[in-house]
Structure 1
């Protein structure tokens, strides 16, 4: 039982262990994104698609299932499910419909950290921290200290009764069904990737009333100074 626990911890930690990363570098199968200009879809097109979906979320009857709305808008539904890549783990599955090429499948949620922000305690035994090309980090862990920090920062930045981020991704009752990107597993030699990530910044002029559907918050409250929010689309 102890051995199984140690192996489980190692599988999570090894991606942070430099000698292991160096030795296994040649076996990497992930898509290598080396430039901010390496876009699958233009930013304007991504923002337009998300804005139209958020408009539907905004206007739909609260009694209507968001997954039905997702299927109606995109022609498919993605959700948490048992992973084929990670044994006994959680992944993201297509539960209904078919995903056309060039579609937005999910958003990577979490607290956004600048390189100078404290993130050590949150990073311990945390495989959900995503490092972006511009040096920002997104902590997509929906449990423990990471969950507490996201909730705290979201409540801190709210404008009166209005939220500027979506906290529902921390629960099983999602307000925005796209907010499952942190559970998309990396490809392996047996299971090649069928999605790829793309980095995008939401501009400061992004409609305020749609920010409640964005599952991101800055750790250092920089949003209050007018800085655009960062997001990673998958």
Structure 2
């Protein structure tokens, strides 16, 4: 099983959802392998059915799978960790408090694991209370720099900044990008990203000097009739990315 991501040496890697193996293969081809394909744990009734299905996805696209929670659902944290241990994917989505468990169960450092932190409305501060219990508690607001250090302590690779609401939190996002660049940490902008604001969001991260950016573009490029991600939109995102990074 390939652990080192195909996109390892890329500065930008797309993260989009697939609703079938055929859709995943089409996405992978449209993105010219510069992508991890999201498969949501929340869509499965139990671990074994998820493992059996996700293995087929992994086989079809050179293990370029991203195990997702499902709209950042903290109740999926344990399942994601367990699936990750069995599947050894290239990318894992986690709530803040689930990062260490996922890294320990993976047993290796190559898989990229993000940790979900949320905007607070205050530049320089993020909410790290995104776990299954902590998300119902008063917000745990800490400096971005501290959140990054904590994620590193737990074996995390990147900040998943969610929900962004597109450019709603632009000033905050600029500061997060600056900190990720300064502390050699990956950044995964997520929430409300579409074909209209993608370039503006990516320019912020790229201009800040972030080493690796994994933007999540979900509902905006999903066909509402079929539930499949539109490959023409993936091609457009790739073209925009190539223009931005040169």
Normalising to structure 2: TM-score of the pair? 0.28
Which entry has the higher C-alpha Rg, 1 or 2? 1
Whose helix fraction is larger, Structure 1's or Structure 2's? 2
TM-score w.r.t. structure 1 length? 0.29
- Report 1 or 2 for greater relative contact order, CA contacts < 8 Å, sequence distance ≥ 6: 1
